Amino acid sequence: MKADLFNDAFFDSLSSSVLDVADAESLPPACYVDAGFYAFEKEAVFNHEWLCVGREAWVKEPGDYFTTHIIDEPIVVARTRQNELKAMSSVCQHRGMLVAEGHGNARGFVCPYHHWTYGLDGHLVNAPAMEKTCDFDKRSAGLPNFKVEVWEGFIFINFDPDAPPLAPRLTAVTEVVKPYDLANAEGARPGPPGKNPWNWKVMFENNNDGYHASRLHHGPLHDFVPSGLAVFPELPEDTAGYYRTNGTLHADASFNATQKALLPIFPGLGEVERNRMLFANMPPTLSLVIMSDMVIYLIVRATGPETHEMDTGVLVAPGAMEDPAYEHRMNMNMAAAYEIIAQDMHVDEMVQIGLRSRFAPRGRYSWQEGAQRAFNGWLTPRYQETWKKMKAEQAAKGLARPAGVA
C-alpha cells in the first residue's frame, strides 16, 4: 500500500462504503490494485476467515486427497483411515518441497525429494538418515494442520487455530439454501482452474451484481432474470455470508436457450424457490448461483493483488446424473453459462485496468447493487479492526509503522 494510504484517514474513509446503499460509495480503488493492501488484507481477511477449498465428495473414501492453494499457501485435504477429514499445509517440513500434487488416493504422503513420509493426518512417520541429526524430534516436524469445517458439503479451512466455528454465523444463508439440500447434491469435480487477471473482490462483486444482469447480459439467455426483480434481505450484522434473490419471469427458469430447467428440479423446492434464483456468497472464497435444477459454484482463490484462480463446478439433484441424456442437457446449460460468463470475464478484466487508473472512482450505487453494500459490510469492519489492532501492536512496540506494512 502507498505510504500515504496507511493512515487513520484512509481507514476511516472506508465507512462511507457501508452506509445505506442510497448513500454508500464503493471501496477505494487501492483496495483492488495495491500490493501492500493485499499484504494487509491477508491478515485482515484470509488468515482468520473460513476459506472454501472444495467439496467433501472429493474425499469420500479413506486415503482420498486433493490439493489446492490460496494466498500462496499450498494445501492438502485428506480423509484418514479413521474417516476423519484433515486439512494441512502440503509443504514438506524438511526443505519445502510439496508432498502432494493434484488428487488421488494414498496411504500417506511421501515427499519425492528425500522421502520423508507423512501420514494422512500430517504426522511425520519416517525421515530417512536423520538419526545423527542433533535434537531432531519427529513429533514436531509434521505438516501444519488447519481447522476444518464442512458446510452444505463444502469443505472450509481456517489458518487461525482460534477461529470461532463458521456455521453459527451462517444461519441466514443456511436457512435460504436448505430446500436445495446442497450437502447431498451431486456433481463432477471441476476441471483445471481459471487463472484470472483481476482482484478477487472484482470477481465477487461481479457475481453479486444484480444491476448488470439486464444490461451486460441483455438478450434471450438472461432477460428472464431482470435486474428489477432483485431483492436484498437484511441479515444479522455478524453474518459470515449474504445473498440476494432475483425473481424470474417464469417458474423454473434456467440459463439455456429454452430458458427453462432441463434437469430434474431439486426435490425440496416450493413455489417461492421455483420462481426466483438465489445468489449466495461466503467471502472471501465461495460464491453460488442457484437455480431450480442446478447450482454453479465458484471457489475464488486469491493468488495476488491483481490475480486469482477460480474453480468452477456444478451441482445437481441426487440421481440427475444417471439420466442417459444428462451430458447433453448439461452441455446446453453450460453453452449458455459460458456465453454469459465470457461477458462477465471481459468486464472484470477491463474493470481491473480501470481500477489502476488515477481516474478510478469511488463510485455510487444503484438500489440494484445492494449486494455490493453487503459485501462492503463484510469487508470494512475486518479492515478497520485489523488496522486498529496493528496500530495498538505498533504502539506497544514503540514502532513508527505497523510491522509488515510497506
Q: Where along the sequence are the contacts to ligand FES (CB under 6 A)?
A: 92, 94-97, 111, 113-114, 116
Nearest by Cα to 226 from 208, 243, 247, 256 = 247
Q: Which is nearer to ligand FES, 99 or 170 (CB)?
A: 99
Q: In the complex, what is the shortest distance from the CB of residue 184 to ligand FES, in angstroms, rounded to a whole number?
A: 39
Q: In the complex, what is the shortest distance from the CB of residue 109 to ligand FES, in angstroms, rounded to a whole number?
A: 10
- Strand-pairing partners, residue 78, are 65, 86
Q: In the complex, what is the shortest distance from the CB of residue 366 to ligand FES, in angstroms, rounded to a whole number?
A: 53
Q: Which is nearer to ligand FES, 114 or 218 (CB)?
A: 114
C-alpha–C-alpha distance, residues 51 and 148, integer Å: 9
Q: In the complex, what is the shortest distance from the CB of residue 95 to ligand FES, in angstroms, rounded to a whole number?
A: 4
Q: Which is nearer to ligand FES, 97 or 406 (CB)?
A: 97
Q: Which is nearer to ligand FES, 96 or 267 (CB)?
A: 96
C-alpha–C-alpha distance, residues 275 and 406, integer Å: 50
Q: Which is nearer to ligand FES, 3 or 97 (CB)?
A: 97
Q: Which is nearer to ligand FES, 128 or 161 (CB)?
A: 128
Q: In the complex, what is the shortest distance from the CB of residue 81 to ligand FES, in angstroms, rounded to a whole number?
A: 23
Q: Which is nearer to ligand FES, 97 or 249 (CB)?
A: 97
Q: In the complex, what is the shortest distance from the CB of residue 116 to ligand FES, in angstroms, rounded to a whole number?
A: 4
C-alpha–C-alpha distance, residues 79 and 121, integer Å: 8
- What cell was used for 81? 483411515
Distance of CA 354 to the CA centre of its chain: 24
Q: In the complex, what is the shortest distance from the CB of residue 122 to ligand FES, in angstroms, rounded to a whole number?
A: 13
